[in-house]
């Protein structure tokens, strides 16, 4: 089946871009593409959202440092009150530090999984 020219109605050989009779464009219509500026703006908005989400994330170092400071403060208070000696608290300090490091590693792994694009 041969197509017809939309302007003059003459038959046009399939695969031809212009009508040989009147010169009208007979190429099949393509769906309109989105303007490049809209796509650029959408990409910029997406990048801004990603930056904002990264800024809102809490660093795993903040709770770790806070926990250590609280532990040191309690230790100092108990030592000053004469209730405990620093020699007795070293095992607990090392245990607390180990737990904090493990929790920070787990937190970092979860954040890395969230940032990895899912197929």
Among 26, 8, 9, CA closest to 17? 26
For residues 53 and 47, give the distance between their C-alpha atoms in angstroms, rounded to a whole number: 10
Q: How far is CA 47 from CA 37, 52, 118, in A?
A: 15, 9, 17
The DSSP output letter for 25 is: B
State the first-to-last Cα distance of the chain, in angstroms, to the nearest integer: 43
* Mean of the per-residue pLDDT values of the chain: 77
For residue 36, pLDDT over 70 is answered with no
pLDDT value at residue 119: 60
**pTM (2 decimals)?**
0.37
For residues 20 and 13, give the distance between their C-alpha atoms in angstroms, rounded to a whole number: 9
């Amino acid at each position: 089946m041969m197509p017809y020219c939309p302007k003059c109605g003459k038959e046009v050989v399939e695969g031809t871009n212009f009508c040989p009779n009147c010169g009208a464009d007979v190429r099949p219509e393509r769906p309109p593409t989105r303007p490049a500026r809209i796509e650029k703006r959408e990409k910029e908005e997406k990048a801004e959202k990603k930056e904002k989400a990264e800024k809102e994330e809490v660093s795993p170092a903040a709770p770790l440092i806070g926990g250590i400071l609280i532990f040191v403060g309690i230790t100092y208070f108990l030592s000053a009150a004469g209730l405990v000696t620093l020699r007795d608290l070293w095992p607990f300090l090392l245990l607390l530090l180990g737990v904090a490091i493990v929790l920070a590693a787990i937190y970092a792994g979860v954040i890395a999984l969230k940032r990895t694009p899912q197929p």
